[in-house]
Amino acid sequence: MKLLPRPLRGRDLLAIGAVAALAVTGVTAAPAVTALAAPGCAVTYTTNTWQNGFTANITIKNLGDPVDGWTLGFTFPDPGQKVTHGWSATYGQTGPAVTARSAGHNDRLGTGATTTIGFNGSHTGANPAPASFSLNGVTCTGAVVPTPTPTTTPTPGGTPVGINGRLRVCGVHLCNQYGRPVQLRGMSSHGLQWFADCYDEASLDALAHDWKADLFRISMYVQEGGYETDPARFTREVNRLVDMAEARGMYAVVDFHTLTPGDPTYNLDRAKTFFAAVSARNAAKDNVIYEIANEPNGVSWATIRSYAEQVIPVIRANDPDAVVIVGTRAWSSLGVSEGGNENEVVANPVNAANVMYAFHFYAASHTDSYRQTVARAATRLPLFVSEFGTVTYTGGGQLDLASTTAWLDLLDQHRISYANWTYSDAPESSAAFRPGTCGGGVYAGTGVLNESGVYLRARIRTADDFPTG
């Protein structure tokens, strides 16, 4: 049976607290400094510092009247501290004085609302935190209270990114900073144009802490009302979700979600523009994996390979070592759904390092012959199951938990990482949440889950085996 494209899905098609986790030799994590005030603002400023450099993350909470457009002001205590590159705000610096202006998507801050911004910086001394902050001229005064923040020292109880650091491909495996094979397990978003309300702070908290997921796949459709309609807005949204995953110690798979048309070269210029921007902005992060074409179909492996060898250098110009996932022929089935197999990729692999190859399956539609291909290919190629479902290829229909269990047992055996479709409340049986869950603020536990969500949560929650020696 062919792995056919899924139809448009989602509510009749109606239509970011970050702690940077940098695995850098000599990195130290500074305590969070919280400045409290009422009725003005509260600011939490957290840094990770290494020799001559640091990353700062700032969470701003408005305790006063709603604002539309804001400027945060603060002064560095040390004249050697400089902002070098920022995100989610427009930064200015005169001497030690710094301003950060809202960036459009976060202009409005209602009473009690929060937003998170951040920057990379340089320093020549001890890199002390600013003594105070102001929001639109209102000083955020009050007690300065040190609170603990995660450190970048890997420990058995740490986060997936904290333990494994920057990933790379070694042989047929995805390997951690110790050069040991690891398997990441997590969930995929649905289309951001339809289900943005599913991906808020509470939702990502539940994924990281209740589900204990290792990764969050950010599924950014290019067509179907996605990126091509407003590249700047969708790029900002992807970056926001990358930051949210990073703050929770999860890996973020940035999925350039192409499906129709199936020829990836149709979106080549868009892909170059998008990945140039996202890789430049996130190059310092250890948690980003790039998936450059979701499900190529109706084209040859040679065409897909050519596309990959034009897009990957754009990423490498900014982020030389990031892991890149390349879609495979026939809806990322290694060609099986169009009568092929893994031999075409083995014989003509992408000419780039740190590359993995996507395999997608839907358990009720793709069974023994597909599993046999993966079992064979896993000894020859580095595979990443960046999308799979517990149901049919339509995203709906009856769950096949027996086939799903057989698939996940196989992936566990070969340490193949995976993301399930979908972490959403779409009106389809593949969705983790019951319809109406998103935007309601409650995502933890099983009470809000569909049958697929209950199964996947239990499977993902089992302890990770991340080797550190």
Please report, for the domain that includes residue 120, its CATH number.
2.60.40.290
Provide mean pLDDT across the span 324-332: 97
Dist. CA 150–CA 55, nearest whole Å:
14
Q: Is residue 174 part of a domain?
A: yes
Whether the CB-CB separation of 441 and 448 falls below 8 Å is answered with: no
- The arithmetic mean of pLDDT across residues 280-296, rounded, is 97
DSSP letters for 59-102:
EEEE-SS-EES-EEEEE-SSTT-EEEEEESEEEEEETTEEEEEE
Q: Do 194 and 248 fall into the same domain?
A: yes
Query: Per-residue confidence at 302, pLDDT binned at 50, 70, 90?
Result: very high
Residue 82: how many other CB atoms lie within 10 Å:
16
Where residue 361 falls among pLDDT bands split at 50, 70, 90?
Answer: very high
DSSP state of 338: G
What phi, psi does 180 have (nearest 5°)?
-105, 140
**180 and 109 fall within a common domain:** no
**449 and 334 in a common domain:** yes
Would the pLDDT of 29 be above 90? Answer: no
Range of the domain at 83: 28-147
Are the C-beta atoms of 414 and 359 separated by less than 8 Å?
no
Task: Report how far apart, in Å, the C-alpha atoms of 261 and of each of 22, 143, 242, 293, 465 are.
Answer: 38, 57, 26, 11, 39
The catalytic site residues sit at 295, 387
Average pLDDT, the chain: 87
Mode of pairing for the β-strands spanning 114-122 and 133-135: unpaired
Is 138 a residue whose pLDDT tops 80? no
Q: Is 462 left (phi over 0), alpha (psi -120 to 50) or beta?
A: beta
What CATH number is associated with residue 319?
Answer: 3.20.20.80
Please name which of 207, 291, 219 lies closest in space to residue 249, comparing C-alpha atoms.
207
Provide the number of structural domains found in the chain.
2
Are residue 39 and residue 165 in the same domain, yes or no? no
What is the rounded average pLDDT of the residues 371-399? Answer: 94
| Same domain as 86, residue 210 | no
- Does residue 59 sit in the same domain as residue 96? yes
Q: Are the C-beta atoms of residues 174 and 382 closer than 8 Å to each other?
A: yes
Q: Which of 160, 158, 180 is nearest to 168 (CA)?
A: 180
Mean pLDDT to the nearest integer, 397-417: 95
Are 356 and 453 part of one and the same domain?
Answer: yes
Q: Is the pLDDT score of 17 beyond 90?
A: no
Query: Is position 468 within any domain?
Result: no
DSSP string covering 121-150, please? EE-SS--PPPS-EEETTEEE-S-EEEE---
Lowest mean pLDDT among 151-155, 285-289, 448-452: 151-155
Q: Which of 100, 118, 147 is the last residue of a domain?
A: 147
Residues of the chain with pLDDT > 70: what percent? 88
pTM of the model: 0.69
Question: Residue 31 in contact with residue 148, Cβ under 8 Å?
Answer: yes
The dihedral over CA atoms of 97, 98, 99, 100, expressed in degrees to the nearest 10, equals -170
Between residues 76 and 21, the one the model is more confident about = 76
| Region 140-148 average pLDDT | 41
Q: Are residues 368 and 313 in the same domain?
A: yes
pLDDT digits (tens, 9 = 90+) for 87-105: 888 888 888 888 888 888 8
443 pLDDT more than 90: yes
Residue 39: is the preceding peptide bond cis (ω within 30°)?
A: yes
| The pLDDT of residue 141 | 62
